[in-house]
Amino acid sequence: MKKLIRTAIALITLVNLTMPVIAADNIVMLPIATAMTSNNAPYRLGDKVKYYFGTQATPPVSRKIINDQTNKKTNALNKTTEQACNWVFLSAMLQLKKRAENLGANAVINIVSNYDDVEKSSETEFECHINALMAGVVLKADFVKIDE
């Protein structure tokens, strides 16, 4: 019985010591171009809505509809950082696409990472927070009608 109690205490101690490591977020910046070609993204996003990241030049905007954001998470177990982050990035982009279509927007512009309300604007990279269990991407953007 004493051996069982010692084993249980050792396991509880081990779990308590490793939980902060498991829960700690790593912040990575990854290429948008790679994520936009992974996981069949071009097909899934289609070509009805155009996407512009950071301060990329856009065609003239005829009407700004709304500013909104996504907040997506995904399971990171048994995935590389790139796999998990690219997957959750696509999930966030698909949410932007759906929102644009529902609003009648034909473009999503000024797309920036906005994790914990800290904006990071880039034309080439997105921010992903990842730990042993979960990966997350938050994107903020303007939904607009552009002249094509």
Residue 25: pLDDT band (50, 70, 90) is confident
Q: Does residue 12 surpass a pLDDT of 70? A: no
Q: What pLDDT, on the 0 to 100 scale, is given for residue 16? A: 47
Who's near 55: CB < 8 A, 6+ residues apart? Answer: 110, 121, 123
Q: What pLDDT, on the 0 to 100 scale, is given for residue 135? A: 97
**Full-model pTM:** 0.83
Report all structural domains of the chain as residue ranges with CATH numbers, in order of start: 25-146 (3.30.110.70)
Q: What pLDDT, on the 0 to 100 scale, is given for residue 5? A: 61
| Mean predicted lDDT score pLDDT of the chain | 89
Q: Does residue 96 surpass a pLDDT of 70? A: yes
Q: What pLDDT, on the 0 to 100 scale, is given for residue 9? A: 57
Tens-digit pLDDT profile for residues 29-57:
999 999 999 999 999 999 999 999 999 99
Chain centroid offset of residue 24 CA? 17
Q: Does residue 97 surpass a pLDDT of 70? A: yes
Who's near 93: CB < 8 A, 6+ residues apart? Answer: 36, 41, 45, 51, 139
> How far is it, in rounded angstroms, from Cα 98 to Cα 100?
5
pLDDT (mean) for 106-125: 97
Q: Where are the beta strands (DSSP E) in 54-147?
A: 61-75, 107-113, 125-130, 134-146
CA atoms within 13 A on the CB side of 98: 9
Phi and psi of 125, rounded to 5°? -135, 155
Q: Select from 96, 98, 95, 119 the least CA-distant residue to 109.
A: 96
Q: Helices H, strands E: what count in the chain? A: 4, 6
Beta partners for 135? Answer: 74, 130
